[in-house]
């Protein structure tokens, strides 16, 4: 057996990776983690300013990245972005669907949700993931290899615990549960559909990620989690790296919970 085979399995040297929503709360550390593992990472985001700032940060660390403007709600944007990357790199090894589009009224109480808002959120988020998966799978099928990683959520697996939101101005949007549940089973569908083509499709399901939420919410959340705390966005990067690398070469259709044990109880 080759020496150091296990550490090497996690490396992504010469790999080309794309992270949609790559300049966001979770996308940013995912981009950095993949780049640190040796990949050239495309920061695919609608926010040009944030994307280019992240690229500058990576440049200073001598990590390989590019910014590309990509809107997952627009099929032409997806097609043109993939075409541009393929023209330059000849391949795409890893595609991470981390974008999180939503409407301004995202947190409306269920009984007050307007049907048009519901449809728009499903269309932007769930259907955006569909469009990305459909288009990148065409390229990966030509390559006979690739890893697609979708972002689900604990609330795509279990029902919300609404008591943790009491005393704060927060709630769990109804569309979120429907969208993330759909993404999870869509991931399983793609895994079986494309297994023969060498394409692996898996999903990451984060638990609550700390982002300066109200103290009362953070306390209640921590009390309901076996590990006693919320997660950090940086803690999502490692699981993504695992599913992107050869360390998970015999894994497809898996839903990886990264939730501090939230779904154990």
Maximum separation of any 2 CA atoms in the chain, in Å: 61
Residue 59 CB-density burial (10 A; 0-12 exposed, 13-18 middle, 19+ buried): exposed
Which residue pairs from 110-117 have beta carbons closer than 8 angstroms and sit at least 24 positions apart in sequence? 110/174, 113/174, 113/175, 117/175
The dihedral formed by the CA atoms of 53, 59, 60 and 63, expressed in degrees to the nearest 10: 120
Among 126, 105, 129, residue whose Cα is nearest residue 115: 105
Give me the DSSP letters along 160-198: --GGGGTTSS----HHHHHHHHHHHHHHHHHHHHHGGGT
Partners of 24 in the β-ladder:
none
Tokens 């010469």 label which residue?
A: 14
Give catalytic residues, as residue numbers.
Answer: 176
């Amino acid at each position: 057996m080759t020496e150091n085979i296990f550490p090497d399995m996690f490396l992504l040297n010469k790999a080309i990776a794309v992270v949609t929503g790559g300049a966001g709360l979770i996308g940013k550390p995912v981009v950095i983690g993949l780049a640190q593992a040796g990949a050239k990472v495309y920061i695919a985001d609608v926010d040009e300013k944030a994307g280019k700032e992240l690229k500058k940060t990576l440049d200073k660390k001598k990590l390989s990245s590019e910014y590309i403007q990509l809107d997952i709600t627009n099929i032409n944007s997806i097609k043109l972005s993939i075409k541009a990357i393929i023209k330059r790199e000849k391949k795409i090894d890893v595609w991470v669907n981390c974008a999180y589009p939503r409407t301004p009224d995202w947190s409306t109480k269920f009984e007050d949700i307007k049907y048009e808002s519901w449809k728009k959120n499903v269309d932007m988020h769930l259907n955006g993931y569909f469009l990305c998966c459909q288009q990148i799978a065409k390229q990966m099928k030509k390559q006979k290899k690739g890893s697609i990683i979708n972002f689900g959520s604990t609330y795509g697996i279990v029902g919300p615990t609404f008591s943790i939101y009491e005393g704060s101005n927060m709630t769990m949007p109804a569309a979120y549960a429907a969208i993330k549940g759909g993404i999870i089973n869509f991931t399983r569908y793609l895994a079986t559909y494309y297994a023969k083509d060498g394409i692996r499709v898996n999903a990451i399901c984060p638990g609550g990620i700390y982002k300066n939420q109200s103290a009362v919410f953070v306390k209640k959340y921590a009390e309901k989690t076996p590990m006693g705390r919320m997660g950090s966005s940086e803690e999502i990067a490692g699981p993504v790296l695992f599913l992107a690398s050869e360390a998970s070469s015999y894994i497809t259709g898996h839903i990886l919970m990264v939730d501090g044990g939230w779904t154990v109880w």
